[in-house]
Amino acid sequence: MDQKTQASAQAIIYHNPACGTSRTVLAALREAGFEPKVIEYLKDPPDRKTLETLLKRMGRNLREILRKRGTPYEELGLDQPGVTDDALYAAIAEHPILIERPIVSIGDSAALCRPAEVVNELIAAVRKS
């Protein structure tokens, strides 16, 4: 991907500034030449449609991006196998801390960048396209 194309590929990071991994990923994006749109997802959580789009781009299902540690995941009974996606989306809307972070979207690609090194794979993939 040339510089002009890279500049037009909008990078977005769903970021928690209190998270070291999230800060590392944001720095890596900037070091790679991206100036991402930073969305502090705890203050401005993505809606269901946005999450569905991100999941499709990541090739993941909703349960794979749920944060369990330090969240009301078990308290809300979300660990039960019968919990529907509708219930999971409703829980996320109420408790955005349930979204694992950081999620990065560049153009038509996205990744849950945990561990932080995953962002390098995403950047490399985007540059190849």
pLDDT classification of 101: cutoffs 50, 70, 90: very high
26-72 pLDDT, tens digit each: 999 999 999 999 999 999 999 999 999 999 999 999 999 999 999 99
Dig out the tokens for 58 from the structure: 């990541």
Over 90: is that where the pLDDT of 99 sits?
yes
The pTM of the full predicted model, rounded to 2 decimals, is 0.91
Taking only the tens place, the pLDDT of each residue in 66-75 is 999 999 999 9
Mean pLDDT of 74-103: 97
C-alpha–C-alpha distance, residues 109 and 103, integer Å: 11
Instruction: Assign 8 a pLDDT band (cuts: 50, 70, 90).
Output: low
Q: Could you read off the pLDDT of 76-87 as tens digits, one per residue?
A: 999 998 999 999
Structural contact between residues 19 and 31, judged by C-beta atoms closer than 8 angstroms: no
Listed residue (15, 7, 5) closest to 104, CA to CA:
15
The string of DSSP letters for 25-42 reads HHHHHHHTT--PEEEETT
Q: What class is the 3-128 domain? A: alpha beta
Residues 65 and 71: beta-carbon distance below 8 Å: no
19 catalytic per annotation: yes
User: Active-site residue among 1, 9, 19, 62?
Assistant: 19
Write phi, then psi, for 12 (nearest 5 degrees).
Answer: -130, 135
Domain boundaries defined on the chain = 3-128
Whether the predicted pLDDT of 5 surpasses 90: no
